[in-house]
C-alpha cells in the first residue's frame, strides 16, 4: 500500500511541475499581436473634413463612414476579415470621399502588413522601405512608413500612431510632387486618420478622422 501511495505522490508531483512549467512558459510568451484590430464585431465611425480655400480651414463635410467587421471569409486558403462600410451624408456626391451606401472589403494581416483580397499591401507596421503603390503616365505613387511614432488627437481621443506617408514622383523619379498624405494607424485600435491630396498641391483637400469606436 505504501508503494501505491508513493507512486501516486510522484505522479502528482510530476504533473504539478509540468503544469507549473507550462504556466511559466505561457506567461513568458509574448501576447499575440492584433495591430489592426482585426476582430469580428469591431466598429469604427469616421467623419470627413473638407478644406475651405476661403477660410483655409477644414470644415465638417457631414459625411460619416461607419465601418464594421461583420464576418470572416476564406479565400485561396487564407482567412480574411470582411469589412462593411456604410456611408451617409454625401448627398452632393463629393468625389473625394466615399459615396453614400454600402461597400464591402476583405483584409488580413500577414507579417505586419495589412493586405487586401487582391494581394495589395494597404499598410505596413514594420517595413520602412519606400514601396511602389501605382504607376501612371504622369508619375508613380509611393508609400513609406516613418520610423518614429507620433501623437494624433482626434474626436475619439489621443493616440500614439505610426505614420505612413504617400506621395508621388515624376515617371523618371527625378521630381517629387508637392502632394503629401499621412495615414495614421494606432496599435490595437486601427485607422485613426488619413488625408486626401492632389499631387500638385502641398495641402490635403480632405481629412478623414476617427470619431468613435467600439472594440470587442
Q: Kindly list the distances between the CA atom of residue 54 and the CA atoms of 57, 84, 157, in Å, as whole numbers in the listed order.
A: 8, 35, 29
Catalogue the E-assigned strands of the chain: 43-52, 57-75, 78-88, 101-110, 113-116, 121-124, 131-135, 140-145, 150-154, 157-169, 176-186, 190-196, 206-214
pLDDT tens profile 9-61: 333 333 333 334 444 443 444 445 799 999 999 999 999 999 999 999 999 99
DSSP 8-state symbol, 134: E
pLDDT tens profile 104-135: 999 999 999 999 999 999 999 999 999 999 99
Task: Assign domain 43-214 to a CATH class.
Answer: mainly beta
Q: Is 53 helix (H, G, I), strand (E, B) or coil?
A: coil
Distance CA 215, CA 42 (A): 5
pLDDT tens profile 191-209: 999 999 999 999 999 999 9
Q: What stretch of H or E contains 4?
A: helix 2-28
Query: Which position has the grid cell 513609406?
Result: 144
Q: Kindly list the distances between the CA atom of residue 120 and the CA atoms of 42, 116, 139, in Å, as whole numbers in the listed order.
A: 23, 6, 19
Residue ranges per structural domain of the chain: 1-30, 43-214
Amino acid at each position: 500500500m505504501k508503494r501505491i501511495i508513493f507512486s501516486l505522490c510522484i505522479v502528482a508531483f510530476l504533473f504539478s511541475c509540468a503544469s507549473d512549467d507550462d504556466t511559466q512558459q505561457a506567461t513568458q510568451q509574448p501576447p499575440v499581436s492584433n495591430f489592426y484590430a482585426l476582430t469580428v464585431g469591431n466598429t469604427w465611425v469616421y467623419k470627413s473634413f473638407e478644406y475651405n480655400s476661403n477660410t483655409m480651414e477644414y470644415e465638417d463635410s457631414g459625411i460619416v463612414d461607419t465601418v464594421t467587421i461583420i464576418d470572416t471569409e476564406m479565400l485561396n486558403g487564407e482567412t480574411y476579415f470582411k469589412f462593411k462600410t456604410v456611408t451617409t451624408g454625401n448627398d452632393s456626391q463629393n468625389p473625394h470621399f466615399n459615396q453614400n451606401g454600402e461597400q464591402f472589403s476583405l483584409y488580413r494581416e500577414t507579417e505586419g502588413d495589412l493586405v487586401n483580397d487582391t494581394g495589395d499591401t494597404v499598410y505596413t507596421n514594420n517595413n520602412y522601405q519606400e514601396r511602389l503603390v501605382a504607376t501612371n503616365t504622369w508619375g508613380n505613387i509611393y508609400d513609406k512608413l516613418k520610423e518614429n511614432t507620433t501623437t494624433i488627437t482626434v474626436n475619439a481621443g489621443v493616440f500614439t500612431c505610426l505614420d505612413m506617408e504617400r506621395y508621388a514622383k515624376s515617371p523618371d523619379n527625378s521630381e517629387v510632387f508637392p502632394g503629401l498624405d499621412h495615414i495614421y494607424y494606432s496599435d490595437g485600435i486601427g485607422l485613426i486618420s488619413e488625408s486626401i491630396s492632389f499631387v500638385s498641391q502641398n495641402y490635403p483637400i480632405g481629412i478623414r478622422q476617427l470619431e468613435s469606436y467600439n472594440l470587442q
